[in-house]
């Protein structure tokens, strides 16, 4: 069975992706924790999902400092693209250490600003590992109905807090050269190193 690393947010999409794929893949999960900025509601949801979905391994990555640095120093309309690229870099590093062949996400085309074709292409360019997106062409109603059927609707309900520092009008068509230029405004290696050095593992 192929081993993969799922980016688990606490929202509907990533939880449904896990439930759909867990019989076919050996899945461990990683959650990018912003509780230092937003409170612990998302972290509590992820812990509840770990219990209900019988997730064997959950890796918690502190991410608040990354979000602060990007929001302060980079073009604000590119906030989601740049933070997502950093998430992918960290996830790829963890995947290599955990011997995972793929990343698994709940990404859904054009549902949010970072998930347009243009932005998804630029974000994927940050890593070499392949990404599985089982919900890519689902609409939101379909995903929510699946969550109801799986018994995780109530847990996943509630406001999404990932936009706490995000722009009101995010870029929907990003240019790779511009993104690379903006990324030079932050100490990328130090941010990634700090996050990786402070992960917590729950098994």
pLDDT digits (tens, 9 = 90+) for 29-76: 999 999 888 888 888 899 999 999 999 999 999 999 999 999 999 999
Cβ atoms 66, 83 nearer than 8 A: yes
Q: What is the mean pLDDT of residues 105-127?
A: 87
Confidence of residue 203 (pLDDT cuts 50, 70, 90): confident
Query: How many C-beta atoms lie closer than 10 Å to residue 93's C-beta?
Result: 16
pLDDT of 109 higher than 90: no
The two structure tokens encoding residue 36: 């230092």
Q: What is the pTM of this model?
A: 0.94
Instruction: Quote the pLDDT of residue 71.
Output: 95
Q: How far apart are CA 119 and CA 15, in angstroms?
A: 22
Look at residue 162 and tell me whether its pLDDT is greater than 70. Answer: no
pLDDT at 196 over 70: yes
Rounded distance, CA 42 to CA 46, Å? 6
The rounded mean pLDDT for the chain is 92
Is pLDDT larger for residue 97 or for residue 113? 97
- Domains, the chain: 3-202 (3.40.50.620)
Query: φ, ψ for residue 141 (rounded to 5)?
Result: -60, -40
What letter would DSSP give residue 1? -
Over residues 163-176, the mean pLDDT reads: 85
pLDDT single digits (tens) 72-92? 999 999 999 999 999 999 999
pLDDT computed for residue 57 by the predictor: 96
Per-residue pLDDT band at 114 (split at 50, 70, 90): confident
Q: How confident is the model at residue 161 (pLDDT cuts 50, 70, 90)?
A: low
User: What pLDDT does residue 160 have?
Assistant: 61
Burial of 112 (0-12, 13-18, 19+ CB in 10 A): middle
Give the pLDDT band of residue 185 (cuts 50, 70, 90): very high
């Amino acid at each position: 069975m192929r081993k993969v690393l799922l980016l688990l947010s606490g929202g509907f999409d990533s939880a449904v992706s896990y439930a759909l794929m867990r019989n076919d893949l050996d899945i461990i999960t990683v959650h990018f924790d912003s509780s230092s900025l937003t409170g612990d509601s998302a972290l509590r949801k992820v812990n509840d999902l770990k219990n209900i979905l019988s997730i064997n391994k959950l890796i918690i990555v502190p991410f608040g400092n990354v979000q602060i640095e990007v929001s302060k120093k980079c073009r604000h309309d590119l906030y989601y693209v740049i933070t997502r690229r950093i998430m992918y870099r960290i996830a790829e590093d963890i995947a290599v250490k955990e011997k995972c062949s793929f990343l698994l996400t709940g990404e859904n085309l054009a549902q949010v600003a970072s998930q347009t074709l243009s932005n998804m292409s630029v974000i994927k360019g940050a890593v070499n590992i392949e990404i599985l997106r089982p919900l890519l062409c689902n609409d939101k109603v379909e995903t929510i109905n699946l969550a109801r059927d799986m018994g995780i609707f109530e847990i996943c309900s509630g406001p999404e807090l990932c936009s706490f520092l995000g722009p009101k009008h995010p870029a929907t068509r990003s240019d790779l050269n511009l993104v690379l230029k903006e990324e030079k405004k932050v100490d990328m290696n130090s941010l990634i190193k700090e996050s990786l050095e402070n992960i917590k593992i729950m098994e």
